[in-house]
Amino acid sequence: MSEKIIVIGAGPAGSVAAERCAQEETEVTLIERWLLGGCCLNVGCIPSKALLNASEIFHQSLNSEDLGVTANASIDYAKTASWKNNVVEKLRSQSRKPLERAGVTIKEGEGLFSSSSEIIVNDGENEESIEFDKAIIATGSEVIELPNFPFDHEAVLNSRQFIELEELPDRLLIVGAGYIGMELGTVAAKLGVDVTTIEMTNQILPGWDKRLIKPVEKKAKNLGIDFHFGLKATELKTKDNENIVIAENESGEEKEFPTNQVLVTVGRKPQVDGLNLDNTKVRTNENGFIETNESMQTNDPNIYAAGDVAGEPMLAHKAFRDAVIASNSILDKETPPRGHVPSVVFTDPKISQVGISPSKKNKSRHSVGRAYFRANGAAFTKNKTEGLARILFDKETETILGADIVGPDASELIHELCLAIENNLGVKEIVNTIHAHPTLSEIILKAAENAGEFPTYSL
């Protein structure tokens, strides 16, 4: 008899794991309490990038006089939202087909462990008990709610609720300048919203190198985003039918920010509540993530975890790899390496990074090659010359160990360097690879050339 496998959560990790296991003639049941595709497809990665694209087109139409382009464009945001929803619905429909072809049984409801070999599926009306041999927890993550700022879909929004809006406010106050706040703030600002952002730390995108965030902050300010650093949002008041956010600095001094709506983007946390993990041997760490080994197996030998719930970075492409490792482990097949996970921020300009950050180089062991978009012909033709690319490599072996990029299409350009790092390639291999001209990819070639005594090319 084939092995019975339960997968809880149909987001990036759960869908991949379920399909992969079912292809090996196991009996797979996929449990999802909401929508196929999870947060990423429905209210995260995909719709936010659709809105970023729409807002960029609108913004460019109004700001291309130097190119001889003038337009009297307007935005029908309800129509934009409808287009975004259609994109999501098409992809969601596509996500179901491979699962059904593989023979996955999809059940709607919540999955609750009654033991290490049995789960209860509750659809709100009925309960069904299912025994299993192996289970994969892929329940993802959820937004963090601030004290005194409960999400009410009206005055205070989380990222999901903002993405689901059909009408934008005139004024928006964003709490948190991390990647979600910066991306959605960019959407709003480019569509004409008066955006104010308050951040507890002293910079946007906390944790990112200031060399990378400098052009992003410059562009955001040019878009009209008003940043206030070193402030903590403490209270929301209503006065004369106006929402007012109270924020204070380290000294306790308060400042008031009037706004129409508040968007809270202070991070996400693993979604483990309600799984009844106490009925298993599964353990979570101090941050709430499920503890796993290199095979994504938890402390309970029957149960695995993958995706956001299994630890940072909480990224969809990391979840895909987790799912492959977990499913291959269950199927007793060779697992791929953990790999180097690239990070991308879809701001304007975009930022990407993989491997060891060049900002953390060891001067005695590492060296860095740099190149600037202001010296890239393709960047000039796109009228986007802000930013740079950096490659960190071993001085002795010239092996590439890390890289980062800020500039146009940084989200696409990073993958040449991902490939180089995964295959232990050196800067010479980049230099010896012919890059088409004129393309943005030549920024990688130029950074590699500048890493050593190599011939250089002109614009």
Residues marked active site are found at 437
- Furthest-apart CA atoms within the chain: distance in Å: 70
What dihedral angle (degrees, nearest 10) is formed by the CA atoms of 30, 31, 32, 38? -40
Q: Rounded distance, CA 242 to CA 261, Å?
A: 9
> Which tokens hold the place of 189?
């600002």
Q: Rounded distance, CA 341 to CA 354, Å?
A: 6
Q: Rounded distance, CA 421 to CA 252, Å?
A: 47
Distances 3 to 72, 116, 162, 245, 405 between C-alpha atoms, Å: 62, 15, 42, 54, 45
Tokens 């993405």 correspond to 163
Q: Mapping DSSP to helix (H, G, I), strand (E, B) and coil, where does residue 103 land? A: coil
Please state the length of the chain. 459
> Which tokens hold the place of 73?
């464009």
> Which tokens hold the place of 263?
């968007």
Q: Rounded distance, CA 305 to CA 316, Å?
A: 14
Exposed e or buried b per residue across 383-413, where buried means at least 16 C-beta atoms within 10 angstroms of its C-beta: ebbbbbbbbbbeeeebbbbbbbbbbbbbbeb
Q: Rounded distance, CA 17 to CA 279, Å?
A: 23
Residue type at 126? N
Q: Rounded distance, CA 277 to CA 170, Å?
A: 44
User: Which residues are CB-neighbours of 62 under 8 A, at least 6 positions away?
Assistant: 71, 73
Neighbours of 450 (CB within 10 A): 18
User: Which residues are CB-neighbours of 412 under 8 A, at least 6 positions away?
Assistant: none
Q: Rounded distance, CA 223 to CA 202, Å?
A: 20
Q: Mapping DSSP to helix (H, G, I), strand (E, B) and coil, where does residue 360 land? A: helix
Sign of the dihedral through C-alpha 309, 314, 316, 317: negative
Check: CB of residue 199 under 8 Å from CB of residue 231. Answer: yes
Check: CB of residue 191 under 8 Å from CB of residue 179. Answer: no
Distances 140 to 122, 319, 439 between C-alpha atoms, Å: 19, 9, 37
Neighbours of 40 (CB within 10 A): 21
